[in-house]
């Protein structure tokens, strides 16, 4: 992983940690706890959640869609299944 990828990964994990700290949305803590109870480490769980963050950011920035809490929570609930990036 190059330095740019490491910085991006760190930024995504920071978003996840900020959401956990704020408990917003509350489903993020539930997802972290569930993934850890399924055997994933804290870091692995945060990285899985980070995949959902990336897809949602992509939806908002690239596709011009508004943030959709229901879509975000549904993707969290499907973890560890990784959400695909939208394609056109």
Does the pLDDT of residue 32 top 70, yes or no? yes
Is 83 contained in some domain? no
Q: pLDDT tens, 48-87? A: 999 999 999 988 998 888 999 999 999 999 999 998 877 6
Q: Is the dihedral of CA 62, 68, 69, 70 positive or negative?
A: negative
Q: Is residue 12 domain-resident?
A: yes
Residue 85: inside a domain, yes or no?
no
- pLDDT at position 1 is 81
Residue 10 predicted with pLDDT over 70: yes
What is the total count of domains within the chain?
Answer: 1
Query: Would you state the pLDDT for residue 88?
Result: 58
- Domain that residue 19 falls in: 3-78
pTM of the model: 0.92
């Amino acid at each position: 992983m190059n330095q740019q990828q490491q910085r991006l990964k760190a930024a995504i994990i920071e978003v996840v940690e900020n959401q956990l700290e704020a408990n917003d949305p509350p489903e993020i803590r539930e997802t972290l706890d569930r993934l850890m109870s399924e055997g994933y480490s804290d870091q692995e769980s945060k990285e899985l959640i980070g995949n959902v963050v990336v897809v949602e950011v992509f939806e908002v920035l690239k596709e011009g869609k508004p943030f959709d809490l229901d879509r975000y929570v549904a993707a969290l609930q499907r973890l560890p299944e990784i959400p695909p990036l939208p394609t056109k």
